[in-house]
Amino acid sequence: MDFGLSEEQRRIRERAAEFADREVAPNAARLDREDRVPFETLEKLAEMGFVGLCVPEEYGGAGADFVSYCLMLEELSRADAGVGVTLAVHTSAGTMPILEYGTEEQKARWVPDLAAGRKIGCFALTEPTTGSDAAAIRTKAERVEGGYRITGHKQWITNGRIAGTAIVFARAEGGNTEGPTAFIVSTDADGVSFGKHAKKMGVISATTDDLLLDDVFVPEEDLLGEEGKGLKVALGTLDPGRIGIAAQATGIAEAAFRYATAYAAERETFGKPIAEHQAIAFKLAEMQTKIKAARLLTLKAAWAKDKGMRVTEAGARAKLFASRTANEVAYDALQTLGGYGYMKDESPVERYYRDARVTEIYEGTSEIQKLVVSRGILREYEESLEAPGGVPQGRSVVG
């Protein structure tokens, strides 16, 4: 077993950390107050090659592996979780589905602009009445000559109004197969508009908007995958996407832990730093241990993806644990600071606390992750019964 990073992975992490400390963290509180997307930061990230970090070089990306991508996301999210999720959704949900399910023509036409940051991607699945039950979407795609006409309302779309392309899911009607179907849609198309801008509890520097589609014509060549097979695209996109959110959650937890540690080392009560009081010392020990475990689960899942392994359960486990860790560590960090942690203008910890909460909700709630993992456990058990002798082997698999 080798837990070391390659020279390239270390270099990417160091570049991301330096950029996060210099360009992202100093602006995070202001962006949170102003509810503003840092376009200037996204432009600099594009110049550094980070917007298309794990996109193959042949399509204009940097060609790095998924481990490097997760290392970058953790560092950026440590500085501003909103910047982290903007990049995560653009890459994992807005670009990778085209690479995974698109034709060569689609990859050549759509991906270079996304990899270079000339366009930002988004993923339009959730609707006002549909979240975890993706099969129940109501957006309709009517089959017409030369393509489809899409009409529907998508809700809480990260990157919504700043996106140039959207992976849109609609229920095909009038075609050979009725059911959820995936499409690549330009947000410049006639009939595309944006509705309500969400006023969120956290990750405020990442815009979240309603996407409205009114009789939008999508040509046949922009069908992503097969008609009626959109759930395959959606679920296949969420698997690696959850690993990215696990990296984001780990970054939030790391930020909260670092601030709490620095505060505890300097704040004195009863003649000594509070870090020397057992109540705080043990709290710091628990926080760090959880973060290290979350990071290992996340990087193991990313490594498995790079190896071409199934990552459905691995991604779910990483997100389940890392998102819980982010919430618990942010809570303990706030408790360590006491009143200072509760005040917006005294420390960034209350922002970390707010940012952490959504990591247990988007890209599949924690309850959905438990469902995914538990189904994997039963599948593994059934497979073990088919092993020689029919005796459960008790093995633990990566994916």
Token pair in block for residue 87: 């990049």
User: Given pLDDT bands bounded at 50, 70 and 90, which one contains residue 387?
Assistant: confident
Asked whether 318 and 249 are in contact (CB, 8 A), the reply is no
User: Given pLDDT bands bounded at 50, 70 and 90, which one contains residue 390?
Assistant: low
User: Measured in Å, how far apart are the chain's first and last C-alpha atoms?
Assistant: 17
- CATH number for 232-385 (one of 3.40.50.720, 1.20.140.10, 3.40.50.1360, 3.40.190.290): it is 1.20.140.10
pLDDT of residue 134: 77
CATH T-level topology, domain 121-227: Butyryl-CoA Dehydrogenase, subunit A; domain 2 (2.40.110)
Q: Which residues contact 218 (CB under 8 A, 6 or more apart)?
A: 141, 147, 148, 149, 150, 168, 183, 184, 185, 189
User: Given pLDDT bands bounded at 50, 70 and 90, which one contains residue 392?
Assistant: low
395 has pLDDT over 60? no
User: Given pLDDT bands bounded at 50, 70 and 90, which one contains residue 398?
Assistant: very low
As a whole number, mean pLDDT of residues 239-259 equals 97
Rounded alpha-carbon distances, angstroms, from residue 192 to 97, 166, 172, 218: 21, 10, 18, 11
Known catalytic membership, residue 363: yes
Buried b / exposed e across 295-306, counting CB within 10 Å, b at 16+? bebbbbbbbbbb
- Dihedral (C-alpha) 126, 129, 130, 136: value to the nearest 10 degrees? -130
177 has pLDDT over 90? no
Please choose, from the candidates 320, 319, 303, the residue with its C-alpha nearest in 3D space to the C-alpha of residue 398: 303
As a whole number, mean pLDDT of residues 362-379 equals 95
Distance CA 226, CA 236 (A): 14
Token pair in block for residue 26: 């100093």
**How many Cβ atoms are within 10 Å of 35's Cβ, its own excluded?**
14
Considering 363, 380, 383, 386, which one is annotated as catalytic? 363
Distance CA 270, CA 148 (A): 71
pTM comes to 0.94
pLDDT tens figures, 204-237: 999 999 999 999 999 999 999 999 999 999 999 9
Q: Which superfamily does CATH assign the domain made up of 7-115 to? A: Acyl-CoA dehydrogenase/oxidase, N-terminal domain (1.10.540.10)
pLDDT tens figures, 278-312: 999 999 999 999 999 999 999 999 999 999 999 99
User: Higher model confidence: residue 137 or residue 390?
Assistant: 137
pLDDT of residue 397: 44
**How many Cβ atoms are within 10 Å of 399's Cβ, its own excluded?**
18
pLDDT tens figures, 187-202: 999 999 999 999 999 9
Token pair in block for residue 371: 């469902």
Q: 258: number of CA atoms within 13 Å, CB side?
A: 11
Do the domains at 7-115 and 232-385 have one common CATH topology?
Answer: no
Question: Domain coordinates of the chain in residue numbers?
Answer: 7-115, 121-227, 232-385
pLDDT of residue 385: 86
